[in-house]
Amino acid sequence: MNTNLTDQAVVVVTGASAGIGQGAAIEIAARGAGVVATYHSHPEGAEETVAIIRANGGRAVALPLDIGRSETFPAFREQLAVALASEWQTAGIRGLVNNAGFGGGLSFEEMTEEAFDRYFRVLLRGPYFLTQALLPLLSDGGSIVNVSSSSVRPGDTTEGYSGYAAMKAGLTTATRYLAKELAGRGIRVTSIAPGPTRTRLGGDAFEKYPEIIDGLAAKTALGRIGEPSDIGKVIAFLVSDDAAWITGEDIQVSGGYAL
């Protein structure tokens, strides 16, 4: 399988300072593309991502972005344009990976409008309007990958995730519609649904409560939880031209979680 990306291609990966975003950034860069790695509260995480990519011979820069604040997107686009011009002498991007997000559950009875709005702003409104803001920079034939969640599917209905999963379901559905609307420019739009993956999600839940890992692994057909590189490789494939005939799909990447 040839998953090379051309060396002019630059891909923006949101939330690349940790976890799945870091894994995706590293795998995309390993296939020859430049990476813009965004971070929110952990610049050192994004610097680590950039350092790993550079140590492997790739090219990357880090930029700050709060995906929950769409009013900052025009300024982010300007910063991105400056970075593209100075690092790659290009004006456009080949791909956008909408990955940034947070997890953690809140029971229906405990849910507040403020908490619900935060899920909405970060997990749905943010990626939706960031995509709109960056569309003028995205080249024809480019690719958008939205990171959704296995929680959208009926087999993975964990109590306390109604707010989180509702937003991810919205993102998955919007993916299909965007795929249709952007097809005229040859832009492909896909979503992936990771199952439980060893990241910092949920306030470092996997590190704080390692005992939950065995239970999740037992519910996973392939017998373990996912690693960021498991998910990152699939994102890198979807961004690349090897996935040129895939659009509008939601792809479960979970080792067979809750089959």
Ligand X SMILES: NC(=O)c1ccc[n+]([C@@H]2O[C@H](COP(=O)([O-])OP(=O)(O)OC[C@H]3O[C@@H](n4cnc5c(N)ncnc54)[C@H](OP(=O)(O)O)[C@@H]3O)[C@@H](O)[C@H]2O)c1
Q: Indicate which residues carry an active-site annotation.
A: 161
| Sole binder of ligand X in the list 34, 58, 68, 255 (CB under 6 A) | 68
- Ordered DSSP codes for the chain: ------TT-EEEETTTTSHHHHHHHHHHHHTT-EEEEEESS-HHHHHHHHHHHHHTT--EEEEE--TT-GGGHHHHHHHHHHHIIIIIS-S-EEEEEE---------TTT--HHHHHHHHIIIIIHHHHHHHHHGGGEEEEEEEEEE--GGGSTT---TT-HHHHHHHHHHHHHHHHHHHHHGGGT-EEEEEEE-SBSSSHHHHHHHH-THHHHHHHHTBTTSS-B-HHHHHHHHHHHHSGGGTT--S-EEEESSSBT-
Q: Pick one of 24, 30, 48, 66: the residue that binds ligand X (CB under 6 A).
A: 66
Q: Is 194 in the site for ligand X (CB under 6 A)?
A: yes
User: Given candidates 92, 103, 104, 160, which one binds ligand X under the rule CB under 6 A?
Assistant: 103
The answer to the question of residue 120 lying near ligand X (CB under 6 A) is no
Residues in the interface with ligand X (CB under 6 A) total 31
* By the rule CB under 6 A, 170 interacts with ligand X: no
For ligand X, the binding residue among 139, 143, 149, 190 (CB under 6 A) is 149
- Shorter beta-carbon distance to ligand X: residue 27 or 139: 27
Which residue lies nearest ligand X, judged by its C-beta?
19
Which residue's CB is nearer to ligand X, number 67 or number 137? Answer: 67
Give contact residues for ligand X (rule: CB under 6 A).
Answer: 14-21, 39-42, 45, 65-68, 99-103, 122, 147, 149, 194, 196-197, 199-201
